[in-house]
Amino acid sequence: MKTVVAVYTGQGLADPLKSIFNEVMPDCRLVNIIDDGLIHDVNREGAVTKAIVRRLVGYYRQAADMGADVILNTCSSVGEVVDIARPMFDVPIVKIDESMAGEAVRRYGSIGVIATLRSTLAPTVRLIRMQASAQGRAVSVTEGLADGAYQALIGGKPEEHDRLIAEAAEKAAASCDALVLAQGSMARMEQALAERTGKPVLSSPRLGLMAVKAALGRGGA
């Protein structure tokens, strides 16, 4: 049985991701490493510091020692650490949002990025631009920060969280062909936002897990 180790910076995505994982890879084992203080540290510091990089690389090392055939980085705020870590490991490390960004660039010329945290918004925008460069595509990116939505969520106001995301998506949709959701935890809103904006909406969990499945199919190479 192949083993996938997922590294999380918070609790919110673990259960939804496991549900999709069981559907996509029913014959594989999923093991979680969760540091639910890490995203708070990123937001407090306003950047991915050297200390945060060391913590994440340490978790990737633990994952490799646990026998991971593929490591899944589930947090877009720290996704760029994967670029640093990949040369250090024989085990492939998949960014949950890399396939989403690649598909968005392949299909659309103007893309709106919706996030509730600036720490997630900026790296997702950079990832899309990096994918555009790799594909030789010219794309425009519109930033849609749902300011205050994250604070509403952790403050026990999920309805306000969803309302602020919907408003940010509606505003961004006016100037783009499609929307991408920068945080995997926002995937549950994919259909509702598509209906509200009339634009295609992409989220990362399923596409990221399909990338994991592909990596397993290549023998982890």
Distance CA 93, CA 90 (A): 9
Digitized pLDDT (tens) for each residue of the chain, 221 residues in all: 999 999 999 888 999 999 999 999 999 999 999 998 999 999 899 899 999 999 999 999 999 999 999 999 999 999 999 999 999 999 999 999 999 999 999 999 999 999 998 899 999 999 999 999 999 999 999 999 999 998 898 889 989 999 999 999 999 999 999 999 999 989 999 999 999 999 999 999 999 999 999 999 986 54
3-state secondary structure of 134: helix
Ordered domains of the chain (ranges, CATH): 3-96+206-217 (3.40.50.1860), 98-203 (3.40.50.1860)
Distance CA 203, CA 187 (A): 5
Which pLDDT belongs to residue 11?
A: 83
Residue 50 to residues 74, 80, 82, 87, 117: CA-CA distances in angstroms? 19, 12, 13, 17, 20
Which pLDDT belongs to residue 221?
A: 46
Distance CA 144, CA 168 (A): 5
Which pLDDT belongs to residue 18?
A: 96
Distance CA 25, CA 37 (A): 29
Task: At 54, list the tokens.
Answer: 């060391």
What's the chain's Rg over C-alpha atoms?
A: 17
